[in-house]
Chains A and B, each alone.
Chain A
């Protein structure tokens, strides 16, 4: 196989769509949280603990973070696909990015529910 161009992996639409949907969820979360914080008279330690003591806030924050990580995965994978040509190196980088993002997920849960 000498420099044969191979295309046709059937996940183009799925990832493109997921990136858009996660972006919308991220925007909604950001607007709601920013709006809430702007309406608070003072943002101190007590306000933060009160906000994040609610399981609803924790759940939606986790959802927001999961969206961020998935969104980031697609973006970083596209960059790697553009700039790293050897398939083996590319696969290795993809695996490293996935492991990092999975660790972020565990870390996020620890932060949100470990208080």
Chain B
């Protein structure tokens, strides 16, 4: 199988380049990450992030044949050859397929991704009804791999001001939580022309999410909440 992989080592290379690799394997049930591990066995200078190798940690997000995804849950047999692998777009490259996700996490932290509840903690847990808990489905599953945010042109252009789909999905995860008491502050935090409203609903985020989540829908629900409290 043929691969073309983005290579860049800022200590030795003046510019990034694409390196070809040829593996003598059959796709079978193999995942892309398995092939990458084989390539790394023959060329240990290739750098990439990986951890759980089953689509839970979100470490091995990369651009696969022009589309963001997780290498560990992408079937080799579904990919057209030569398989072209690049780092996630729109973020600074540290080396090869490894990007600097500082900006991504800065935006994530800016939406206060934790429960705000000033009531004294009860003896047991803070209870929710099954219906209230169901509101969080499709939101809490996000693994912060960055596939959606780095597929978003609004984030490419305003990474310092637009929160991005992953951050906004998490913002709604806490807005939708009945145990959270900071709804007004959370909405205020997003009520500006950049942080939420730079989303132009092109839905690249929905298209690439490896967990089949829908940030665009969450963004729409945040807008609904804002309208509800305004009119």
Contact = CB atoms under 8 A, between A and B. Distances in A.
Interface of A: 5, 7-17, 78, 81-82
A20 B197 CA distance: 13
A13 B194 contact: no
B161 A15 contact: no
A12 B227 contact: no
A12 B191 contact: yes
A13 B227 contact: yes
Given A13-B227, A16-B197, 20 more contacts: A5-B160, A5-B161, A7-B194, A8-B189, A9-B192, A9-B193, A10-B192, A12-B190, A12-B192, A12-B193, A12-B195, A12-B196, A13-B223, A13-B230, A14-B230, A15-B193, A16-B223, A78-B193, A81-B194, A82-B158
Nearest to B200: A78
B136 interface: no
A48 B195 CA distance: 46
Contacts, number: 43
Contacts of A82: 157-158
Contacts of B197: 12-13, 15-16
Contacts of A78: 193
15 contacts: A5-B160, A5-B161, A7-B194, A8-B189, A8-B191, A8-B195, A9-B193, A10-B188, A12-B192, A12-B193, A13-B227, A17-B227, A78-B193, A81-B194, A82-B157
Interface string B156-193: 01101100000000000000000000000000111111
> Which secondary structure dominates where chain A touches chain B?
helix
Nearest to A81: B193
A13 B192 CA distance: 7
Contacts of A12: 190-197
Contacts of B223: 13, 16
Contacts of B227: 13, 17
A5 B230 CA distance: 27
Nearest to B160: A5
B30 interface: no
A19 to B, nearest CB: 10
Contacts of B188: 10
A27 B110 CA distance: 38
Contacts of B226: 13
Interface in B194-225: 194-197, 223
